[in-house]
Amino acid sequence: MSVSRTGFLPFRFWAWAWFVAWLLLLGQAPAAHLAGLPAGVFFVVAAAGYAALYLLPLLLAPLLGRLAARMVGAGAGRLLSGAWLTLWSAFVQLVLVVDLLVFRQFGFHLNGFVWNLVSTPGGVESMGAGTATWATALGVAVPTLAANAGLLWLCRRQAGAHARAGRWLRPALAALLVCAVGERLAYGVSHFTGRADVLAAAGALPFYQPTTFRHLAQSLGFTPASRQPDKLRAAGGSFVYPLAPLRLEPPPRLPNIVWLVAESLRADALDAGIMPATSAFADQALRFDRHYSSGNGTRMGMFGMFYGLYGKDWFPVLEGGRPPLLMDALRQLDYRIEAWSSARFSYPEFDRTLFAGLPHSALHDGAQGEGWQRDRINVGQMLEFVRDAAQAPDRRPFMSFMFFESPHARYYFPPENAIRKPYLETFNYATVSLTRDIELIRNRYLNACNHLDSQFARVFDEIERLGLQNDTIVIVTGDHGEEFMEKGRWGHNSSFVEEQIRVPLVLRVPGVAPRRVAAMSSHLDLPATLLSRLGVRNAPHELSLGHDLLGRRQRQSTVISDWSSVAWVAADYKAVYPLASAGFANAGTFTPDDRAVADADAVRAAHREDLAQLLDGLSRFHRRAVR
């Protein structure tokens, strides 16, 4: 990057461009709410390294300049290199300014969702922007370009100064390299040791790419630190949950809660021919016929079910180890709480999110065997807990949770549950053909659901035997659905088609008459529903993005998340917006039955108020969204 004979890359110009980018990154600090000196030092050093990283494309200027000089002449070389230097430097500065504004307002950086917002007709207008906004943007962009062009002209005129300044090139590059390597190491150590303040500082930098070495450190004998709930504020940066403290006025008689969640339980599996016991139980309860998960995978489905938040907020919650408000309320009310999983509480990281703060002795996940065998063992243990709690002298209310694995691929079950034949008897991922075998695979899944039904029945029967039916809320649902090539894919976690996001919901609440509910409902509504039964008096919007399923309000739309996208699902259309570059694969506008619409721009323009609601939900639990 030294001064070339034709001045293609003046060092002083690069230094000024880096300095401006660094200052703009430092402007993220107030929105990040940096907690303490280590986080502040990390942020300053990391910003220095990333400012240099963003400007690396300036290195193309000498190449472009020399190429043009050889082909056309020295003047053309200087012109082309100058244009590149000016445009890229101004581009970086403008992007950092826009990112700063977005991060302060919504709590996330520039991503696929923002691009979709800008490129969708009416998208920017849905945020309240208009002609004045575009005029302001133009009024910033033009002076920025002019300032960079003027700075480059001055730098090129001072050739002698460049020769002297060039002596600082190597020391400057060495210092920036130390910054880059140092922040990589600092982040990795902080991730391993649970320094949530440093992790939050990294999240304030746009396009930050973390470096971790958790598995390497564990292989060397080091033990990672556990995250604790009191680290939430630092871990989330601008993330604020809840918006107000819990206000509890518990009823005279608190209900027990039995919460049953099955892996990959799609909505139409709740059928009398497949799950007869659960279908009979649903006839004595509330059965929600148009219920949606909050995700197309386990993490986001369970996260929305317990927190009532969109999946984007999984990440600050995980880093901070923040339990859901529902668990806070249960502990404040002195509930006995124990949970079982036929998978692992550590993957997904539910021990650091949903059940954070519970002692390890209350989380049971060590059963052996296939999924159906683990389900049987865990149901037996859970029923022992229910019996002990029901017969305890103090009669404290209890909450028992279980995550079932029977319907998880490869869908294992015992011979007595083979109600659908033929089925794929040998399920080998290496030899299976989805085109040839999908119906056999589906039958295998339905047989596994039949076994799941037998385990649900054990729970229903024991509640009746103990006489707890008038004191116990029972929840039966799935974490997400499961597709069998109806829309071109098998499994889940790959798209937002109905088969992957629709699940059953059966809810039996003491004193509430059985009925079938045709209105839309969502996992996002479960926390508000349960908190209301516990005597929480907060306004629902202070605690979650859902509402009480037993209240008067009817849901008109819902939001479903995966790792990199959100889907807005309404009665007449479905829109998928990317939140990261990976989310572009599924982005689009669709009919309710998942066919691409002919004129996506027209559909979104006609529903621009929906986009405004989505933006409100994405930003509500971030500091700038607090009103």
Full 3-state SS string of 319-367? HHCCCCHHHHHHHHCCCEEEEEECCECCECCHHHCCCCCCCHHHEECCC
Confidence at residue 333, expressed as pLDDT on a 0 to 100 scale: 97
Give the long-range contacts of residues 148-157, CB within 8 A, separation 24 or more: 148/17, 148/85, 148/86, 148/89, 148/90, 148/93, 149/82, 149/86, 151/13, 151/16, 152/10, 152/13, 152/82, 152/85, 152/86, 155/10, 155/12, 155/13, 155/16, 156/7, 156/10, 156/13, 156/78, 156/82
Q: Are residues 197 and 285 in the same domain?
A: no
Q: Which domain covers residue 338, as residue numbers?
A: 256-625
For the stretch 310-354, pLDDT in tens is: 999 998 898 888 999 999 999 999 999 999 999 989 888 899 999
**Calculated CA dihedral for residues 272, 274, 276, 281, nearest 10 degrees:** -80
For the stretch 15-70, pLDDT in tens is: 889 899 989 988 887 766 666 788 888 888 888 888 888 888 887 877 776 777 77
Angle value at C-alpha 53, between 49 and 59, nearest 5 degrees: 130
Report yes or no on 238 lying in a domain: no
CATH code of 321's domain = 3.40.720.10
Domain boundary pick from 170, 185, 203: 203
Q: Which secondary-structure segment (H or E) carries 565?
A: strand 565-570
Report yes or no on 243 lying in a domain: no
What is the rounded radius of gyration, in angstroms, for the C-alpha atoms of the chain?
Answer: 28
Distances (CA, A) of 613 to 113, 536, 619: 14, 25, 10
Domain boundary pick from 184, 203, 222: 203
Q: Are residues 338 and 468 in the same domain?
A: yes
Q: Are residues 344 and 449 in the same domain?
A: yes
Q: Is 281 helix (H, G, I), strand (E, B) or coil?
A: helix
Q: How many residues does the chain have?
A: 627
Q: Are residues 150 and 272 in the same domain?
A: no
**Calculated CA dihedral for residues 34, 40, 43, 49, nearest 10 degrees:** 170
Q: Is the dihedral of CA 445, 450, 452, 456 positive or negative?
A: positive
Cα(265)–Cα(86) distance, rounded to whole angstroms?
56
Report yes or no on 303 lying in a domain: yes
Q: Which two tokens stand for residue 34?
A: 């940096």
Q: What is the mean pLDDT of the chain?
A: 85
Cβ(523)–Cβ(304) below 8 Å = yes
Q: Are residues 193 and 262 in the same domain?
A: no
* Residues of the chain below pLDDT 50: 1-6, 121-122, 125-128, 226-237, 625-627
Q: Which two tokens stand for residue 209?
A: 């790419």
Q: Are residues 37 and 131 in the same domain?
A: yes
Confidence at residue 408, expressed as pLDDT on a 0 to 100 scale: 93
Confidence at residue 505, expressed as pLDDT on a 0 to 100 scale: 99
The strand pairing partners of 490, in sequence order, are 484
Cα(395)–Cα(256) distance, rounded to whole angstroms?
10
Confidence at residue 246, expressed as pLDDT on a 0 to 100 scale: 94
Q: What is the pTM of this model?
A: 0.72
Domain boundary pick from 182, 203, 224: 203
Q: Is the dihedral of CA 95, 100, 106, 111 positive or negative?
A: positive
Cα(406)–Cα(450) distance, rounded to whole angstroms?
9
Which residue, among 427, 404, 423, has the nearest Cα to 415 in the 3D structure?
Answer: 423
Report yes or no on 210 lying in a domain: no
- Encode burial over 94-132: b for 16+ CB neighbours within 10 A, e otherwise: bbbbbbbebbbbbbbbbbbbbbbbeebebbbbbeeeeee
Confidence at residue 109, expressed as pLDDT on a 0 to 100 scale: 74
Angle value at C-alpha 164, between 163 and 167, nearest 5 degrees: 95
Cβ(423)–Cβ(444) below 8 Å = yes
Report yes or no on 232 lying in a domain: no
Cα(624)–Cα(612) distance, rounded to whole angstroms?
16
Which residue, among 524, 509, 513, has the nearest Cα to 555 in the 3D structure?
Answer: 524
Q: Are residues 270 and 166 in the same domain?
A: no
Report yes or no on 314 lying in a domain: yes
For the stretch 172-196, pLDDT in tens is: 778 878 877 888 888 888 777 766 6
Report yes or no on 214 lying in a domain: no
Q: Are residues 328 and 396 in the same domain?
A: yes
The contacts of residue 579 (CB under 8 Å, 6+ apart) are: 108, 111, 112, 113, 312, 564, 565, 566
What one-letter code names the amino acid at 460? F
What one-letter code names the amino acid at 434? L
Report yes or no on 40 lying in a domain: yes
Q: Are residues 146 and 276 in the same domain?
A: no
Q: Are residues 544 and 456 in the same domain?
A: yes
Establish how many alpha carbons lie within 13 A of residue 280's alpha carbon, considering only the half-sphere containing its beta carbon: 9
The contacts of residue 273 (CB under 8 Å, 6+ apart) are: 419
Cβ(513)–Cβ(277) below 8 Å = no
Confidence at residue 533, expressed as pLDDT on a 0 to 100 scale: 97
Q: Are residues 426 and 569 in the same domain?
A: yes
Quick count: other Cβ atoms within 10 Å of Cβ 563? 18
Total number of domains constituting the chain: 2
Confidence at residue 308, expressed as pLDDT on a 0 to 100 scale: 98
Q: Are residues 536 and 404 in the same domain?
A: yes
